[in-house]
Amino acid sequence: MIFRIYKGFKRFVFEVDQLTRFSIKMVLSLFGRPVYPAETMEQMYSIGVGSLFLVILTGIFAGQAMALQFSIELADFGSKNYLGRIMCLAILRELGPILAGLMVAARVAAGITAEIGSMKSSNQLDALLAFGVDPIRKLAAPRLIALLVMVPVLTIVCDVIAIMGGWIIAIFIANITSTTYISAVNEKLTFGNVFIGILKPVVFAFVIAFISCYKGFTTKGGTKGVGRSTTESVMIASISILIVNFILTKVVSSFLKGYL
């Protein structure tokens, strides 16, 4: 039993070390030439437009459900006018970044790992090396850039849609005027809240890119290995997003107490 725990811990440390080395190579590949703008734009379209409907659908129903629960609880204290403030805080700091990050991780991380893993299994990565093309710069860097751009954008869309969903509940169910709800939301659109809401998706983009590309480049075992790597990629990326979210919330909130 102890040997198994030691072996598992040793493998975990090895994987973390390899992931760190690979992540550094990905970041360094962003600088220098050649660059692949066509590949980057294709990935931005695939990640951004492809995930837009999923993010909108998730945001509006999650926002409405949250507003409905908050309105019921606030009504007991006669504080329904604070619904907009609570919605803005919850969505900007937590709900928007987490929902967008998890939705993108579920959809995009699987696609990136499967695509690169299939290329690894069919020796296409070796062919790129034979032609003098760096696979990380050609395949990983454009996906990293696309995620860094599109995940924050999708998060902003999710925030707006979720707040709009709360606005619908406020007017038609909680019987709060539109002016009251919107003014309450504006009160919490502070620098600190917006900063946290933008910083988190940027960090989540790095997490998704690093893990999904790493699992793709290290795929082994043919088509069966591709399926295994894809499953692990989504699972690890989702768990990592939740862990990183907690750490960011704790660290950033302590530095921005006066701006929240």
pLDDT digits (tens, 9 = 90+) for 112-134: 898 888 888 888 888 877 887 88
Query: Which pLDDT does position 259 carry in this prediction?
Result: 61
Task: Read off the pLDDT of each residue in 218-240 and give the average, rounded to a whole number.
Answer: 87
Tokens 């990183």 sit at which residue? Answer: 244
pLDDT class of 240 with cuts at 50, 70, 90: very high
pLDDT digits (tens, 9 = 90+) for 178-221: 888 888 888 888 888 888 889 999 999 999 999 999 998 888 87
- What does the alpha-carbon distance between residue 215 and residue 207 come to, in Å, rounded to a whole number? 12
pLDDT average, residue stretch 56-60: 91
Q: Residue 151: which pLDDT band, with cuts at 50, 70 and 90? A: very high
**pTM beyond 0.85:** yes
Mean pLDDT of 75-79: 77
Q: First-to-last CA distance in the chain?
A: 48
What residue spans define the domains of the chain?
35-259
Phi, psi (degrees; rounded to nearest 5) at 109: -60, -40
In a 10 Å sphere around its CB, with 0-12 CB exposed, 13-18 middle and 19+ buried, how is residue 49 labelled? exposed
Q: What is the pLDDT of residue 258?
A: 59
Q: What is the pLDDT averaged over residues 97-104? A: 91
Find the range with the poorest average confidence among 6-15, 25-34, 35-44, 154-163. Answer: 6-15
Q: How confident is the model at residue 239 (pLDDT cuts 50, 70, 90)?
A: very high
| Listed residue (35, 19, 21, 22) closest to 137, CA to CA | 35
Task: Name the percent of the chain lying above pLDDT 90.
Answer: 26
Q: Within a 13 Å sphere around the CA of 52, how many CA atoms are in the beta-carbon half?
A: 8
Residue 243 burial by Cβ neighbours in a 10 Å radius (0-12, 13-18, 19+): exposed
